[in-house]
Every structure is written in C-alpha cells, then in structure tokens.
Amino acid sequence: AGVWSILVAAEPALDDPTEVKLSKIQQQQLTRAIELVARMGYPQVHEYPISVVDFHKSTLGQYKNGKIMLSPQVFEQGTKQVVSTLFEEVLHAETGLKDCTYEMQTRLFNMLVSMYEEHVFGEAC
C-alpha cells in the first residue's frame, strides 16, 4: 500500500477533504496562478475544476478524478507556491507522472533547460 492509502486508513476524512472558501486576496492569487500556468504552455489549466481543501499538513496539492485540489498552505506561502503547486498538479494531470519519481524530475529539468535554450540561444543547444 502507498503512503496515501496508509494515511487514509488512519484518517478516513483525508480521502474527502473539506473545501475551504478563499479570501479576496487568495482568489486573486489563484487567478494569477492559473493565468501564469496557462502562459507557461498549459492553457488546459482552465479546463480543470480547482478547489482549495484542508489536507493532511504535508500535502500541498493533489490531482484526483479529473480535479485539482490545493491546500490553503500554498496561499500562505505566497503566489509563487500557488503557481508551482498548480503547475505540478497540471503536469500530473497531463502526463500521468507520479510524485517523487525520476521521470517527473527529468521532465521538470528538461522543461527548465528548454526555457533557457529558447531564452539564451533562441534555439535548441
């Protein structure tokens, strides 16, 4: 069994977390994050239902059953954290890659290098 399965077995409420209402500032952070992720090459971010839910304290986001869920913690850590968590969950949705895997790490590093190739050289190295 995976870590999530073990956590849910110990605390069943984790599998059906409570939705959190966003403040005006948090809604602005989310709107800005969605726009940035779209501009990062993932306009399909607009197609996913996004909710903010109370997770286990170590979980910042999750893609499950066609939905993206974010923790209120990401908003406390600033818009950059909202963007990075949302971006990660869109990548999970689009690629099927799992957390903490070589494949996900490689995908992220390749994306980073590609951005620099385009910015610095205007073409692939």
Mean pLDDT, the chain, rounded, equals: 89
For residue 16, give both structure tokens: 């059906």
**Distance in angstroms (rounded) separating the CA atoms of residues 45 and 26:** 18
**Distance in angstroms (rounded) separating the CA atoms of residues 60 and 4:** 13
> Residue 76 in contact with residue 82, Cβ under 8 Å?
no
* Mean local confidence (pLDDT), 84-99: 96
For residue 2, give both structure tokens: 């995976």
Q: Dihedral of the CA atoms 83, 87, 98, 112 (nearest 10)?
A: -100
Question: Is residue 1 over pLDDT 60?
Answer: no
* Mean local confidence (pLDDT), 85-93: 97
> Residue 68 in contact with residue 93, Cβ under 8 Å?
yes
* pLDDT tens per residue, range 23-81: 999 999 999 999 999 999 999 999 999 999 998 778 999 999 999 999 999 999 999 99
User: In Å, how far are 46, 48, 50, 83, 117 from 65, measured between CA atoms?
Assistant: 16, 10, 12, 21, 35
For residue 113, give both structure tokens: 């290098």
Instruction: Give Rg (Cα) of the chain.
Output: 16
Total number of residues shown for the chain: 125
Q: What was the pLDDT predicted at 15?
A: 62
